[in-house]
């Protein structure tokens, strides 16, 4: 597999399990361990419980990307290995182009913040963020108090005020 193909696997798995793009540190960690993951999957004759992931090294690496055998803060919020298990986050946005933005003749013109980001992508992200806020509001940390919500100018229709829960005596 090429580095670009591995980065695409990391991109898709990150979106499916966390609902956001991986950062460069995450890319680097997975790229450094990719060969070990492939070798281990072959060594143990791994068969994925997710049929489309198949068997062997690539199946093992894909399942590890999706959160299999994680613990603590690494447990993903979405997917088969989330706690509790849930559907994977979707849709996964298209993988961004690796090409650098073309230079502009006008140095005062600011480049777009993310090439290929469309209004539809932003709306999907806002919908996802609103879903996360609803989930948080449904089961807030008892130590939290304040407001949870998106401002109306971002399209939010959820604003929940939480009162601190008094500790049991």
Instruction: List the domain boundaries for the chain.
Output: 1-93, 113-169
Helix (H) or strand (E) holding 148: strand 146-149
Q: What is the pLDDT of residue 141?
A: 63
- Are 54 and 87 in contact by the 8 Å Cβ rule? The answer is no
Q: Which of 157, 123, 167 is nearest to 137 (CA)?
A: 157
* 74-126 per-position pLDDT tens digit: 999 999 999 999 999 988 899 987 444 555 555 555 554 555 667 777 777 77
Over the chain, what is the mean pLDDT? 79
Q: What is the pLDDT of residue 117?
A: 63
Instruction: Check whether 166 has a pLDDT greater than 60.
Output: no
Q: What is the pLDDT of residue 90?
A: 85
Q: Can you tell me the distance from the alpha carbon of 151 to that of 124, in angstroms, rounded to the nearest whole number?
A: 16
The first and second tokens of residue 89, run together, are: 């986050």
Q: pTM (2 decimals)?
A: 0.58
Q: Can you tell me the distance from the alpha carbon of 34 to that of 28, in angstroms, rounded to the nearest whole number?
A: 10
Phi, psi for residue 73 in degrees, rounded to 5? -75, -10
Q: Can you tell me the distance from the alpha carbon of 113 to that of 87, in angstroms, rounded to the nearest whole number?
A: 30
User: What contacts 24+ positions apart, CB below 8 Å, involve 94-102?
Assistant: 95/7, 95/8, 95/11, 95/12, 96/11, 98/4
């Amino acid at each position: 597999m090429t580095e670009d193909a591995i980065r695409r696997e990391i991109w898709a798995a990150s979106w499916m399990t966390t609902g956001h793009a991986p950062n460069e540190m995450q890319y680097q960690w997975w790229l450094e361990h990719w060969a070990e993951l492939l070798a281990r999957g072959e060594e143990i004759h791994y068969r994925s419980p997710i049929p489309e992931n198949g068997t062997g090294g690539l199946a093992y690496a894909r399942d590890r990307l999706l959160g299999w055998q994680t613990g603590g803060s690494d447990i993903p919020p979405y997917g088969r290995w989330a706690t509790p298990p849930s559907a994977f986050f979707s849709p996964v946005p298209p993988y961004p182009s690796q090409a650098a933005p073309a230079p502009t003749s006008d140095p005062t013109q600011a480049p777009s913040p993310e090439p290929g980001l469309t209004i539809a992508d932003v709306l999907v992200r806002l919908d996802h963020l609103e879903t996360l806020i609803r989930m948080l509001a449904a089961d807030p940390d008892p130590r939290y108090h304040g407001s949870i919500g998106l401002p109306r100018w971002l399209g939010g229709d959820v604003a929940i005020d939480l009162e601190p829960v008094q500790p049991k005596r």
